[in-house]
Structure 1
Amino acid sequence: MTKLPKPGDEVTWGTSGGETHGTVEKVVTSTTHVKGHTAKATKEDPQVLVKSGKSGKQAVHKPEDLKKA
């Protein structure tokens, strides 16, 4: 399992336009809805809620898609 980032950690992730950065808000362990997207997270397969440093919008990503900045 990929090491989970902690709330407050600065992370980067890939986008269709390159790479962006943001801050981890929390680790999600249950089904969560963000921006019309459903993240089917579980305790066994958690996901990470991040806030973009560029747009200020929230998104949910799988831990393996994030790199610590």
Structure 2
Amino acid sequence: MSEEFNVGDRVRWNSRTGAVTGEVTEVHTADFEFMGRRRVCSEDDPQYKVRSDATALHAVHRADALRRLG
């Protein structure tokens, strides 16, 4: 089972430009729309909205794409 994250957790993920660090800003457990695309998630398979430290832009990832910092 993947690790679970909470709002405020510091995380790292990979992007096209390399490793990115940031913070979890939202935890989604029901389907939602992000940047014009429907994101499918559930209590058992949440998705996490994260904010990049470098750009302050947001992205959405599943738990298996994130690594806890610290």
Moved over 6 A (4+): none
Identity %: 29
Q: For 2:64 and 2:26, how far apart are their aligned partners in 1?
A: 15
**Take 1:46 and 1:17, find their aligned partners in 2: how far apart are those partners?**
25
Q: How does 1:7-46 map to 2 (within 5 A)?
A: 7-46=7-46
- Residue 5 of structure 1 is matched in structure 2 by 5
Q: Distance in 2 between matches of 1:68 and 1:35?
A: 25
Question: TM-score, normalised on structure 1?
Answer: 0.87
CA RMSD of aligned residues (A): 1.2
| 2:62 corresponding residue in structure 1 | 62
The CA distance in 1 between the partners of 2:64 and 2:13, in whole Å, is: 10
TM-score (norm 2): 0.86
User: Do the aligned residues in 2 keep the contact of 1:35 with 1:59 (CA within 8 Å)?
Assistant: no
Q: Which runs of 5+ in 1 are unaligned?
A: none
Aligned residues: 69
Deviation at 1:6, TM superposition (A): 1.2
Partner Cα distance (2:21, 2:38) in 1: 21
